[in-house]
Structure 1
Amino acid sequence: MKKKVMAGALVTSIMFSGQAYASDYVVKSGDSLWKIANNNQVSVSNIKSWNNLNSDLIFPGQKLVLKAGGSAVQTAPAPTPSQPTSITYTIKSGDSLSMIAKNHQTNIANLLKLNPSITDVNKIYVGQKINVAAPSSQTPGQPVTPTPSPSQPEQPKTNTYTIKSGDNLSSVASRHGVTLNALLSANPSIKDANRISIGQVINIPGNAASNPGADSAWDSKADAIIETGKKYLGAKYLYGASTNRTDAFDCSSFTVRVFAENGINLPRTSAQQGNVGKEIPLSEIRKGDLVFFDTEGDGVINHVSIVTDPNTLLHAATSTGVAFSSYNTYWKPRAVKAVRVL
């Protein structure tokens, strides 16, 4: 009888000694390190350490050790319902936000919420560190649509916008006074923010029209555009100048540079830029607008200027380089079109 009691005590001691031995897990399709760690009550860093992983990338059929042999299992604290666990991901060559979202079973809108510093989905760079989350309550690949609480009013109806040549989602969002994140949330069918087509009809969140500050937001943006352009006063004129140069410009490389520094991408040539944004009457131009000219009288746009006020232009002209010019002299009779991109 004594021997049986001692044997039972020995078994109990082994079972509850806090020891854990290595167990293999075979990665399945749809798995991520976060999901595996959460399901097994360990941390992502533990799994990476136990398996000598240098990144978060895993593949179906891969075997992972989930518990360190002979050592106590380390458990990660369960995420609170209001704050999903996030991991850090480092951008690699060839990455895009769409690809990263797909690989981590989330979507672009979630990535942008976790990374408010990203204002343009086209502008990420190799080595950049971003936060990635995969909330357990989210269906993989499905956009998260916030459910209004009983105290919230019903969300306003959305307006629509038709994509035109030269448009990208960042510029469309900026022109309508909404964030890129809000635009993506209003258009769950857009899986890749880099892939929109001319003629495509998208939804513009209703608060763009109802927000009293949205229409006046152009004022500060226009001031920023003008201040950026003034940095290059005196730069020489060079036809066909690279948009990477800041010592010399032609008319359209100047506008490309100035608007790009303010988060708005324009196509390269003045003729192409004439198809971007909303066309407005020449009599209604205001600061920040673009005015286009046909100086040869052949019906072809060959020059573009930034409006600083209804009587003044800021541009890169052949005779002056980057300079201010009076609109009401040589230029006004040759103006053929104006567009508003702010």
Structure 2
Amino acid sequence: MKKTIVAGAVLSTLFLGEKAVDAAQYTVKSGDSLWKIAQTFRTSVNELKTLNQLPTDIIYVGQVLQVPDANAQPTAPVTQPTAPTTQTTTYTIQRGDTLSTIARQYNTTVTRLLELNPSITDVNRIYVGQTLTVPTTNTTTNQLISPTPVTQPTAPTNSASKSYIVQPGDTLSTIAQKFNVTVNDLLALNPTITNVNFIRVGQTINVPLSWEERANAIIETGKKYIGAAYLFGAPTTRTDVFDCSSFTYRVYSENGITLPRTSREQAMVGTEVPLASVRKGDLIFFDTDGDGIINHVSIVVNSETLLHAATSTGVAFANMKPYWAPRAVKAVRLF
């Protein structure tokens, strides 16, 4: 698990205590971060920094670290849910599906679906008509189970799209290239198109929003709830109270993106980006206890500003400095 951290990503904390532990060596691999290594060896970022006298979170590929495990045998990361199954079946993706809703439908996790479908490289890019392998057995009784009904997000189906008028010379392929999507993406947004080779000049079709348009829409959605109180474990159906992850769940679902329920689960979807490279609409995750476990999530407004549901303020804007920046451990991009 090696990671080369971008030098600019210096959102870090200093651990002032000391802790005697048996240590062994671990070599940093591509893709590693202190947070990931801490999860793997069931320790905290602060303990790793203390063991290795690291003043910041910056590590590099090939670096040898001391880890608090005499045998130096990585254990499964505590945030990775497992859902072993003994039988599988296939499922054809329908309009409105996401990996999260499919996972709930089959009583499994997004992580397990990705294990069963290694051809999926982007958790947010699946298409109508695609065939997935899904589990069919209960992990404890090993009996066949039936999919449970799923409530779809309360977001309009075109929440991530806008209108485009077909011009002379346009084809679905050229339009897809223009908006940096696939033909299948366009077909999913335009179910009335039954012949991929037939569109007409002047026809209005739905096309995806740019990332900036989507990000602006997400921020505007979140601003609707400013002033709502904080309630730990708030149901995702309530909009008068939120906790941090029910807020992000609600805001993104209203913009056509369904997230898992908890901050730790939300940290496992999307594409990880360096903390120094976050942009509007990204999610940023925090470890406020210094124990190596994510316990808070916020929406990035800009490099200095967050929008979130915090215990002290409820839904509000917040400045990254001085409190939040040192506690940031990970950021993900969903679009």
TM-score (norm 1): 0.43
Q: Which has the larger radius of gyration?
A: 1
TM-score (norm 2): 0.44
Higher relative contact order (CA 8 A, sep 6+): 2
